[in-house]
Amino acid sequence: MRLYLITGDRGDEVETSRIVEAALEGGATIIQLRKKSMPMREQYRLALALRILTREHEALLIINDHADLAIAADADGVHLGQDDLPPAAVRALPGFEGRLIGRSTHSLAQAQLAVHEGADYVAVGPVYPTPTKEGRPAVGTALVSRVAGVIDRPFLAVGGIELDNVASVVDAGAAAVAVVRAVYDATDPAEATRRLHEALVTRLEVARR
């Protein structure tokens, strides 16, 4: 399963856990906890709940921005933006050893730099305009193609990806995608996950022929 779910900002601990559990049942294999406005104390409780759910489903739990929370909740790793700490500094934190580091990138140079800096995976985007990253210009599928041709490391396409455009993202060279709205805001997140993944895999099969 090549589907990475990033939590949306809306929803409390209970609501968020419910959506994440549904996505896991639909087959999502990586969950990123991203709550820009939730107090850390609540985020900690939520992270512990998601840790239990992701363990049950043998999925990875990644925490957005906060390496301390990743360590405290025994998450699998942290996802860093361009303005966050450099990967090497996070890697050296006591208690962080063995965990994963992901990096958001918006250009080929940033993706290459992230890899050189020791990120375990890079997210490339936003491929399409997205309200999650308001004001950030979309990089389009062209950047996905450029990164796919160069980076032999796990990478994900992210930003505005949904059922209608996932095929174009796969055609550009992505083998895995990250989504927020397409699953988090769906009326049936489990079904949305399944359908999105099916579309992704079907297109990959076509691309391989």
Partner 1 sequence: MSQVTVTLNGKPRTVLDGVSLLDLLKQLDVQPSRVVVEHNREIRRRGDFDKTQVHAGDELELVYFVGGGAPDDALVVGGRSLRSRLIHGTGKFASNDVLARCLTAAQPDMITVAIRRLNLEGGRSELEGIDLRRYTLLPNTAGATTAEGAVRLARLARAAGFSDFIKVEVVGDEDTLLPDPQATLEATRQLVKEGFIVMAYTSDDVVQAIRLYEAGAAAVMPGAAPIGTTLGLQNLLNLELIVSKVKVPVIVDAGLGVPSEAARCLEAGAAAVLVNTAIARAQNPPEMARAFAEAVVAGRRAFRAGRAHIGLKAVASSPVEGVPV
Active site members: 34, 104, 133
Per-residue tokens: 110: 């940033």
Site string for partner 1, 6-45 (x = CB under 8 A): -----------------------xx---------------
Binding of residue 107 to partner 1 (CB under 8 A): no
Burial of 150 per CB tally in 10 Å (0-12, 13-18, 19+): middle
- The span of 17-25, 97-105, 126-134, 135-143 binding partner 1 (CB under 8 A) equals 97-105
Map the footprint of partner 1 across residues 45-84, applying CB under 8 A.
Answer: 58-60, 76-77
How far apart are CB 36 and partner 1 at their closest, in Å? 24
Q: What are the helix (H) ranges across 105-139?
A: 108-116
Alpha-carbon dihedral 126, 108, 172, 132, rounded to 10 degrees: -10
Choices 10-18, 33-41, 43-51, 171-179; region in contact with partner 1 by CB under 8 A: 171-179
Quick one: 86 or 129, whose CB is closer to partner 1?
86
Closest to partner 1 by CB, 13 vs 168, is: 168
Helix (H), strand (E), coil (C) string for 40-109: HHHHHHHHHHHHHHHHHCCCEEEEECCHHHHHHCCCCEEEECCCCCCHHHHHCCCCCCCCEEEEEECCHH
Q: Do 104 and 79 touch, CB atoms closer than 8 A?
A: yes
116 binds partner 1 (CB under 8 A): yes
The nearest distance, CB 156 to partner 1, in angstroms, is: 6
Residue 187: CB minimum distance to partner 1, A: 25
Spatial separation of the C-alpha atoms in residues 128 and 141, rounded to whole Å? 8
Binding residues (CB under 8 A) for partner 1: these are 1-4, 29-30, 58-60, 76-77, 97-100, 112, 115-116, 118, 120-121, 149-156, 174-176, 204, 208
